[in-house]
Structure 1
Amino acid sequence: MELDPKEAERAVGVTALGAFYSVQQAAKRMIPAAKGAILLTGATAGVKGFALSSPFAMGKFALRGVAQSAARELAPKGMNVAHAVVDGRVRPAGRTDSADRPDSTLDPDAIARTYVDLLRQHRSAWSWEIEVRPWVESF
C-alpha cells in the first residue's frame, strides 16, 4: 500500500522496456548474419517476488518474459537468447568473503565464465535460462 506507483512505472520502464529495446535493436543487426547471442541479466525477483519489492519484481518478471519470447522468436533465425538469474550478492572488486562464510557472494569472474559457457553452447543443447547462486545459498 505504501509503494510509490511512479517507482513501479520507472522500474518497469528501465528494466522491461530497456530489455525490449535492446533485444529489438540487437536482433535487427544479428538476423542478417543468421547468428548471434543476446544475454539478459535478471534476478531472483523475476522468479519470485518479495514483500515490498513489487516495482523491482514487476520489471524483472517482464524482463524474463522478454527473454523467453525473444528466445522462441529468434532461435529459428540462428540466434540464442538467454536469461541469467543472478540469485545473490555479487562480490565487490577487491573484496573477499569472510572466513566464516566463504563463497557466500557471487564472484564476478565466475559469473562471466557462466556467460561464456552460454555463448559456447552447441545449437542442439541451448539454454534459454540459467540460474547462478552462491553454493551456500539456501533455496
Structure 2
Amino acid sequence: MTQQTAVIVGAGKGLSASLARRLAKEGFHIALVARDVDKLTGLVAETGARAFAADAQVAPAIEGVFAEVDQIFGPPDLVVFNAAMRYRGPVELLDPVDVMDAYAVGAFGGFLTAQAAARRMLARGSGSLFFTGATASVKAMPHSVPFAMAKFALRALAQGLARELGPRGIHVAHFIIDGGIASSWATQGEGGPADKWLDPDAIAETYLSVHRQHRSAWTSEMELRPWVEKF
C-alpha cells in the first residue's frame, strides 16, 4: 500500500494537532497549512509534518501550497479544511471589514481549498475532502453572526460538492462539531465531568474512520457532540 498524503488547512492546536498526530501514526505524509507557521514548530517536530505558510482566503497562496505538496509528496489523498475566524460582537458594533475577513477565511477559503484539492483528486479518481463545521453550521447564536455566516456557507459548499464529486470518486464530508473541544475550551479546575468537552483525539479517530469508508456507504455529514451536550 502506497503512503498517503494529507493536507490540513487552518492547522493549529486542538483538532488539527490531534489529526496530525493520528495520521502520523498511520504513516501519512502530512502538510500543515496556516497563516502563522511558527506556532506549528512543536507539532512539526513531533509528527514529521511539513508546514506551509498561506492565507486560506488568497487563491494564489492556496494553489501554491498544493503545487508544492504535489512536488514533495504527490497529490493529496485526504484534505481537511479547518480554517475559521471567531469574530464576535453585537451587530451594531461589528466592523464590516472584519466581518468580510471572517467570511472570506471560513467560507471562501473552503472553496479555494476544495477547488485545489478537487483538481488533483479528480485526475486520480479518488480522495477525501472534509470540512469542519460547528454548532453554528446549523444554529446561529447572538453575537456570533460572522462565524455562523461562514459556517452556514461552508455546509452548503460541502453539500453541493458531495453531490457533484461523489459520483466522480471523491468522498466529501461535513462534520458538525456540536460543542467545545477540550483543548480549546477546558480550563484547569473547572467543575463537572472531565469529558464534558469533545476530546480532539476522539474526533481525529472519527475523521480517519470516515476517510477509510467504503464508497458504497459514504458518510456525507456527521454530528459529533459530548454526551452532556444539549440537542
TM-score (structure 1 length as normaliser): 0.92
Partner of 2:209: 117
Alignment size in residue pairs: 138
State how far apart, in whole Å, the 2-side matches of 1:98 and 1:106 are.
15
CA contact (8 A) 1:35 1:78 kept: yes
Which amino acid in the other structure matches residue 40 of structure 1? Answer: F
- How far did 1:35 drift? 0.5
The question of 1:104 aligning with 2:192 is answered no
**Cα distance in 2, alignment partners of residues 112 and 65 from structure 1:** 23
- Unmatched tracts of structure 2, length 5 or more: 1-90
Alignment match, 2:182: 91
Structural mapping, 1:1-139, within 5 Å:
1-2=91-92, 3-92=94-183, 98=190, 100-139=192-231
Relative contact order (C-alpha < 8 Å, sep 6+): which is higher?
1
Which residue identity does 1:35 align to in structure 2?
Answer: S
Partner of 1:82, secondary structure, is strand
Q: Work out whether residues 97 and 103 of structure 1, in 8 Å CA contact, stay in contact via their aligned partners in 2.
A: no
How far is the alpha carbon of 1:98 from its aligned partner? 5.0
Contact residue 97 and residue 104 of structure 1 kept, 8 A: no
Instruction: Report deviation, 1:55.
Output: 0.8
Partner of 2:56: none
Task: Among all aligned residue pairs of Structure 1 and Structure 2, give the percentage whose two residues are the same amino acid.
Answer: 51
Q: Which amino acid aligns with 1:25?
A: A
Offset of residue 99 of structure 1: 6.3
Unmatched tracts of structure 1, length 5 or more: none
Distance 1:53 1:108 in 2: 23
1:97 to partner: Cα distance: 8.1
CA distance in 2, matches of 1:28, 1:115: 22
Alpha-carbon deviation of 1:96? 7.5
Structural RMSD (CA) = 1.8
* Matches of 2:135 and 2:123, distance apart in 1: 34
With the length of structure 2 as denominator, give the TM-score of the two structures: 0.56
